[in-house]
Chains A and B, each alone.
Chain A
């Protein structure tokens, strides 16, 4: 697993947006293709040296947003500013931005060196300087011996690195990466994630990565912008997105989740009680929630935040314990995922760490079990 850039609190400029100037400002950007809005009223601030991930399914508008940053599409309305300059109508060849394409888009008729040098030649740099820069980049991506090869003589991983080197050649202020690891197999992907983060930290370039792979986003990003149907559903650090989703969409999109509907029965400043027929018990939430009595809302909890037991556990609040029958078990090695059928017919998933080797006493199929959770383990969602 790749290491996330380890930033001290004071190097997280988005936490203090009053005193920090964003590097990329996207203001109310909308892009329409005919009558369809691919991107709808998106506003986003990205800070210098961030590795920002735009995460979304296909058709969520993440690629269109990236293409607008690169200059291949012009916004129907709104403003894009990079480093304080309005870039909205600047053509791609005049932007201080480079892009790494999903298909890599290596020029097939040029060698690796020529591919990397292409952007530098367009800047009319002296030949000696170009050669030095190309050598430096080949070393950065560990392809020193491959400079004379043509793209079709390289493996997928090597092509990916050439594409990265080419995109970095002009020392862009901002690098856009469209599904940078999408075409690699799982193992190579994990290694490459690591390298990508290392290169990003080393050069201090601002990265904006588009991906549909949530695991990739979680490992790479300093912050993630989750996109849904052309709009930003949530912006936050990976932990915020996973642990404190702001909507049912985000909760369901990232990781797996159990979601139930419930009615507020007690609404106090320090706790909330929700009655859920689906769950077959009350949910006691140990903090105040912005809601009203009798309001219908949703409660979401991650499978690993619940515990299974054969005996009925204590429940001081007369809540947060339900019971059901184990229907399915998925053994994944490190963890097992149990699917428990509750009395209401609702199925929930609970994952447990397999911390005893070959446990003979493990909970098994068709057993009656109790499911319990902490009073702060779930998220209360109103949208």
Chain B
């Protein structure tokens, strides 16, 4: 047993500092008046104003949000189907393989995923003529691919706690299988679907590496624009943008967590 002393508090402070100091400094400097990122001269919101006057940034942001929303939705459908297959059909030929393949993108380095998708799209274009070139469509497909894995994991855990007799009870009371799905199954797994979607949305919004591989001219996502801007030197409006994104992501994660937490105790007691 460790004695209560100075070690644990200091370790905790250092740990949090290591994780969050860069983010805090970024947020602080987004309100800096000076053009030099590292020199604090006074509070100002001018970089936020600057940001909203930059059409390249704004367009990229809108594009990223659209891609994230579509990719998360596709991933939600596919991931839920995969989770249902894995949980409901305990034994089928190739189950282990399927389960492994579904969750593989979780541990696959982005570079590999991006590169392999790029090669696939190029090959498909030359053989099938589809997808034509690379752009929004290919980014959506790529993002949906890896988000599916996350959705599947989240929904799977919820489904495996699901009491099958609830569905049987509904059918016993005269509900058809479709009716049962909408009346019983969907409301009960809804929290997992919402948090799966939000997770997919945030991951897609975040992604730089995969998008860089599979995007084409005129389809630069927000992370790509930021990355290219930063290479030319860090400008303070990037800080402002980053602060906004951190805010959105934090709110998203918070909502997902709250929904999951509120769903848990109810089920535990019911």
Contact = CB atoms under 8 A, between A and B. Distances in A.
B172 A93 contact: yes
B172 A70 contact: yes
A29 to B, nearest CB: 19
A42 B179 CA distance: 33
Given A105-B163, A151-B270, A122 B174 contact: yes
Contacts of B165: 101-103, 105
A119 B173 contact: yes
Contacts of B172: 70-71, 92-93, 97-99, 167
A151 B270 CA distance: 6
A347 interface: no
Nearest to A91: B171
Contacts of B173: 93, 98, 118-119, 122, 166, 169-170
A102 B168 CA distance: 12
A322 to B, nearest CB: 52
A97 B172 CA distance: 8
Interface in A78-131: 91-94, 97-99, 101-103, 105-109, 118-119, 122-123
A109 B263 CA distance: 10
Interface in B150-176: 163, 165-166, 168-176
A160 to B, nearest CB: 14
A119 B184 contact: no
B270 A106 contact: yes
A365 interface: no
A122 B188 contact: no
A45 B166 CA distance: 29
B270 A92 contact: no
B3 interface: no
A152 interface: yes
A317 interface: no
B202 to A, nearest CB: 27
B169 A123 contact: no
Contacts of A92: 168, 171-172
Interface in A48-62: none
Given A93-B174, A103-B163, A170-B174, A108 B169 contact: no
Interface in A116-172: 118-119, 122-123, 150-152, 166-167, 169-170
Given A101-B169, A152-B269, A107 B174 contact: no
A152 B270 contact: yes
B187 interface: yes
A123 B266 contact: no
Contacts of B179: 122
A249 interface: no
A72 interface: yes
A94 B187 CA distance: 24
B161 to A, nearest CB: 11
Nearest to A119: B173
Contact of B169 (A91, A94, A99): A99
A105 B267 contact: no
Contacts of A107: 166, 169-170, 184
Contacts of A151: 270
Contact of A118 (B168, B170, B187): B170
A111 to B, nearest CB: 12
B266 A152 contact: yes
19 contacts: A93-B171, A93-B172, A93-B176, A99-B172, A101-B169, A103-B163, A105-B165, A105-B166, A105-B168, A105-B169, A108-B270, A118-B173, A118-B175, A118-B183, A122-B174, A122-B175, A150-B270, A166-B173, A170-B173
